[in-house]
Amino acid sequence: MDSKVSALLNDQINKEFYSAYLYLDMANFYSRKGLDGFANWYEIQAKEEQDHAMLMYQYLHNNGETVTLEAIAKPDKAFETLMDPLKAGLEHEKYVTSLINTIYEAAQEVKDFRTTQFLDWFIKEQGEEEKNSMDLITKMELFGDDARSLYMLNSELAGRTYSAPSLVL
């Protein structure tokens, strides 16, 4: 594996774990506000990010690469309104998309077809993540100011369950 591609994937592992921390911080915010459904949604997001990190970890190991785990930064976002975490989540997903695209581009440059194929799943996943984030913002804009509607949206998010990705490495 090309050293640049390996380094980018290794760095992405750390960024995926940071994403999990960020989403747990969002879950904490919503828990403090009494919105357990929103908290559940972000707790599941955190689990997904951990899985993404582990998929990359395993992929590097499967390709004979060394994985170096770095310190995970403390989330640095301050949330005041119920909308703040939702907007920060979309912003973060767009950032992660740009990171995945950078790795994909680096793999393409060196004709690392195995890695581009591996990353295809992440490209699709990021599209879903951005859409989910945008949908949550839209729902909050529509219903967030009405207590009963917010309660129903919170109940909807409480029903989300976790499903681990099934990606063949």
Who contacts 57 (Cβ-Cβ below 8 Å, separation ≥6)? 13, 67
Let me know if residue 163 belongs to a domain.
no
Q: What is the pLDDT of residues 12-58, one digit of tens each?
A: 999 999 999 999 999 999 999 999 999 999 999 999 999 999 999 99
Q: What's the confidence (pLDDT) of residue 162?
A: 86
CATH number at residue 135: 1.20.1260.10
Sheet strands (E) in 10-163: none
Q: How far apart are the first and last CA of the chain?
A: 15
pLDDT bin (cut points 50, 70, 90) of residue 145 is confident
For residue 132, how many other CB atoms are within 10 A of its CB?
A: 16
Which pLDDT tens digit goes with each residue over 112-129? 999 999 999 999 999 999
Local confidence band at 163 (pLDDT 50, 70, 90 cut-offs): confident
- pLDDT grade, residue 132 (50/70/90)? very high
Instruction: Say how many CA atoms lie within 13 Å of 79 toward its Cβ.
Output: 22
Phi, psi of 82 (to 5 degrees): -65, -25
Percent of the chain at pLDDT > 90 equals 91
d(CA 7, CA 68): 9
* 165 φ/ψ angles, rounded to the nearest 5 degrees: -70, 150
Evaluate whether residue 113 is within a structural domain.
yes
* 72 is a domain residue: no
Per-residue pLDDT tens over the stretch 63-108: 999 999 999 999 988 999 999 999 999 999 999 999 999 999 999 9
Q: What is the pTM of this model?
A: 0.92
**26: in domain:** yes
Per-residue confidence (pLDDT) for residue 41, from 0 to 100: 97
Alpha carbons 145 and 167: distance in angstroms, whole number:
40
Range of the domain at 114: 3-66+77-158
Structure tokens at 19: 């994403």
Residue 136 within any structural domain of the chain: yes
| pLDDT at 168 (0 to 100) | 59
The domain total for the chain is 1
- The confidence score (pLDDT) of residue 165 equals 76
Residue 71 falls inside a structural domain: no
Is the pLDDT reported for residue 167 higher than 70? no
